[in-house]
Structure 1
Amino acid sequence: MNKKSKKQIKLNNEFRKVPSVERILSNNQIVKITDDLSRDYVTKVIQKELVKLKSESLEKNLPLNKNFEDIIELIKEQLKLETNFGPQNVINATGVILHTNLGRSTLSKEAINSMVDIANNYSSLEYNLSKGERGSRQKHLSSLLCNITGAESALTVNNNAAALILTLSTLAEGKEVIISRSESVEIGGGFRIPDILSSTGASLIEIGTTNRTYLKDYEKAINKNTAAIISVHASNFEITGFTHKPTLNEICSLAESYKIPLIHDIGSGCLIDTEPFGLVHEPTPEESIKNGASLVLFSADKLLGGPQAGIIIGNLNLLNKISKNPMARAVRIDKFTMSSLQTTLTHYIKNEVTKKIPIWIMISQKQSSILNRVKKWQSTCKIKTEIHETQSTIGGGSLPGQLIPSFCLSIPETKNLTADKISRKLRKNQIPIISRIENRKVLLDARTVFPKQDKIILSALNSII
């Protein structure tokens, strides 16, 4: 008998140790699970896990190292994982206010309630109540956005990348788009402005250098095949030192003189002045329109504080063309996003931003208030903790480098509990708590933790022991 045959016999013997699907289904722990989940679904998960076990054994040429109890636990864990559909609620104790991995901005109670109301009822989504006929879903937001920003028209889609692709595929397919080399950037998730531009059928013409671009560079690049000039606000990085760039107003004036649209992608969508909060100035859509931008693109789920959406505002004729692009239907905003965004925008016209919109409540929190909360955490905590000054960040591709003084509860690691283990335990809490680690200490920044979550934080900390 050759070595290959002996190896196969050995593996077959190992595979005989794998329990049958019926035996697993008969286990009391699995029987309890089938009271909640269909037997057919549980059977498929069991089959998949058993195939995976055998495949791993074959690939690694190793014996099965799991007994029956191990396999039951493995299947229970997999069932738990697979039935935890969609994103899970977590507590953000990182101090990053617009944490992209944690869903960016949270919504106001009113914005959430508006979605629930729309979900529970029919709505006038695409129905004109005054005329009794079909209407446009864009009308609900267009007027509000125009009044806030001073634009002629507005169009809302499902995210800002879609807004950029829709705009360029409409206005620049087969033509050239001019952009400063310093603004030809990666916007997160591996997506790069050059790649987005090329996907629309437009040719990218980069001008200037990484650190210095002049108005004359734009003018030299303009020709009869130029469809637009695009300016991208550096919302997630900084270039400092020996730099130069023309003002937006100067670029807009140049574009206007050549009758070329100027597209300004400002990213964060901030609608209020950030300086009173101790932050550097962040360009607003209203300022871009006043400076002469033909179209302004921005996100709704960053500094605007609303749901995920991309907003295009500006020239009426250009937006009419964009709205007629067949792709506009593919990236159109849904009724739930529309409702919550409309409610969020209403907070701005009612001057209640820092009272209603969660991210602005966080940004505007007083340090004394944060410190008092951290002291309460510490006073009822059974494990050793320290209180430290720390720095919260805006995050989410907004206001790069801007830090806000804050306070955090610090948990130093011990011989038995490393910082990684403490952090892992917090993540395994019923409502996972996401922390950050610095200098072998786990930090919980109270700025990004909602007061209603304080009890959960304390319960989790006391269960670490």
Structure 2
Amino acid sequence: MKPEASMVHGPKASLPATRPALTPAAPKDLPSVDRLLRDPAVALLVAAHGHALVAAQARELLDAWRAEALQGQLPKERLDGIAQALRERCDARLTPRMRRVINLTGTVLHTNLGRALLADAALQQVLACMGSPNNLEFDLAQGARGDRDSLVEDLLCEITGAEAATVVNNNAAAVLLGIAALAGGGREVIVSRGELVEIGGAFRMPDVMAAAGAKLVEVGTTNRTHPKDYEAAIGPATALLVKVHTSNYAIQGFTSSVDEATLAPIAKAHGLPLMTDLGSGSLVDLAQWGLPAEPLPQQMLKDGCDVVTFSGDKLLGGPQAGLIVGTREHIQRIRKFPMKRALRLSKLPLAALEATLRLYLKPDRLTQDLPTLRHLTRPVAHIEAQAARLLGPLRQAVAPRFEVRAASMRGQIGSGSLPVETLPSAGLALAPVLPGKRGMGRALDDLQAALRSLPLPIVARVQADELWMDLRCLDEGPREAEFLAQLPSLAEALR
């Protein structure tokens, strides 16, 4: 045999491998909706989810596949998996949009991640009261109609020292309602120019004044306001003096402001109420745990404020709510104002709020029982030890694309509270394994996308060309185990 011939007629393995062409399906190859629903595997779906949902998803699936078939882009082989494709569509449609995530951003009260975590006591109270009839507006002692404010008013008064209290669905509503009830109808409200803040969602104090039907009167300058500025602005049309705690920004340098203790006598001398908005709403002195101090409703009332508003889901550590405490006279005016009904708190957050406030009756246990304070006061040494435990498993999961190191970090309280202050923390820093800087951003984007796609998504932050996983909010025990359980899926996503 000639050498040339042996080369031509040699083993087939020496020839380039070719992938067999897939046979395109025609629209007529697709089953009808009725026929698909009679498939035994699909019948199980109908039994589990009902005819309406499965039929609707079947129509959408068949419409999408028919469009592909008309373009010759639907492989006939895919028809064998139509029941599984329908199951996946049903599962996706029933998957909740609001999902649990693991917060490794280093921000304890993260607005985009749900702010404060509810305590176990609050969760149990919600479950107990939401799955059964309850006494939301029924006085069990008298056997008559009750007032939902009574569920938490005594607690708020005991904790803050207020004469009376009421609650609405968030602090923005509390501010709006307070101004409308005390100064609506075009009357004047005096506010320092340096306190005309804008918080999340374009919520601006001047807009709130207008929506409440009050006329804003600005006093002072952006950085300096004095008592005489308030005195000079008070006139016959003045109805209210308002102080706003600038929790979401800070002005430093040549500044001056008038505190509540100084402003209260001015208000009283003119027969005017003084209202202060604290925003974050801490009910305990954070300085006792080495954290920056926040103004307390208790102190504002002692300083002479008639009305104090603050949030329930920030430093207080409860559900979203706007809490209003103050003198009996002014709280009664607010409670009777028509707008109150539109802003009232529903039964679910009320149940959680009552249980959260009861935790404050045991102040020596707050850092154990209240997740917000537990995370804010967690010792750095404990976080460093956790980082050391997780370093090896995470390194194995992301290798060889990323390298991991334990690192010191700085986190934040969050939700506009103490914007300049940071919290010492620790965690894990992941860096792409690349020959240079090129591709660094894309690699980190891919890593973040992989973390967000996990069964229990992980949200971290990018800093200094690394992905930082701050572990301050990752409780030890079951929560740490949940993090570890995500690592095999992460390894698969990064392959």
Partner of 1:400: 419
Question: 2: distance between equivalents of 1:284 and 1:454?
Answer: 34
1:46-72 alpha-carbon deviations (Å, 9 max, x no partner):
6678999999x9xxxxx9797476998
Cα pair distance change 1:389/1:33, threshold 3 Å: farther
What TM-score do you get using the length of structure 1 for normalisation? 0.87
1:354 to 350, 358, 367: 367
Deviation at 1:80, TM superposition (A): 4.8
SS in 2 for 1:464: helix
Residue identity matched to 2:296: T
Segment of structure 1 superposing worse, 184-193 or 95-104: 184-193
Deviation at 1:280, TM superposition (A): 2.2
Query: Structure 1 residue 317 and structure 2 residue 343: aligned?
Result: no
SS in 2 for 1:447: coil
Question: 2: distance between equivalents of 1:293 and 1:178?
Answer: 15
Segment of structure 1 superposing worse, 93-102 or 216-225: 216-225
Partner of 1:429: 454
Question: 1: distance between equivalents of 2:170 and 2:164?
Answer: 18
Residue identity matched to 2:374: I
Deviation at 1:378, TM superposition (A): 1.0
Instruction: Report if the CA contact (8 A) 2:183-2:213 is conserved.
Output: yes
Residue identity matched to 1:228: L
Question: 1: distance between equivalents of 2:71 and 2:88?
Answer: 19
1:377-429 alpha-carbon deviations (Å, 9 max, x no partner):
01333144110100111001212121111111112123598111111111111
Residue identity matched to 1:453: R
How many residue pairs end up in the alignment?
A: 444
Tell me the percent identity: 34
Partner of 2:383: 370
Segment of structure 1 superposing worse, 67-76 or 91-100: 67-76
Partner of 1:443: 468
Partner of 1:389: 408
1:166 to 157, 177, 186: 177
Partner of 1:185: 197
TM-align CA RMSD: 3.0
SS in 2 for 1:443: strand
Question: 1: distance between equivalents of 2:460 and 2:362?
Answer: 35
Instruction: Report if the CA contact (8 A) 2:33-2:55 is conserved.
Output: no
2:270 to 250, 258, 268: 258
Query: Structure 1 residue 205 and structure 2 residue 221: aligned?
Result: no
Question: 1: distance between equivalents of 2:265 and 2:144?
Answer: 42
Question: 1: distance between equivalents of 2:461 and 2:72?
Answer: 35
SS in 2 for 1:424: helix
Residue identity matched to 1:253: P
Question: 1: distance between equivalents of 2:433 and 2:90?
Answer: 34
Instruction: Report if the CA contact (8 A) 2:425-2:472 is conserved.
Output: yes
Question: 1: distance between equivalents of 2:107 and 2:28?
Answer: 47
Segment of structure 1 superposing worse, 377-386 or 17-26: 17-26
Partner of 1:11: none
Query: Structure 1 residue 107 and structure 2 residue 151: aligned?
Result: no
Cα pair distance change 1:220/1:31, threshold 3 Å: farther
Instruction: Report if the CA contact (8 A) 1:177-1:202 is conserved.
Output: yes
SS in 1 for 2:472: helix
Residue identity matched to 1:205: V
Q: What stretches of structure 2 of length at least 5 have no aligned partner?
A: 1-25
Instruction: Report if the CA contact (8 A) 1:21-1:47 is conserved.
Output: no
Partner of 1:10: none
1:117-163 alpha-carbon deviations (Å, 9 max, x no partner):
11233322222222222222211211111111111100011111111
Deviation at 1:272, TM superposition (A): 0.9
Cα pair distance change 1:155/1:50, threshold 3 Å: farther
Segment of structure 1 superposing worse, 34-43 or 147-156: 34-43
Q: What stretches of structure 1 of length at least 5 have no aligned partner?
A: 1-15, 58-62
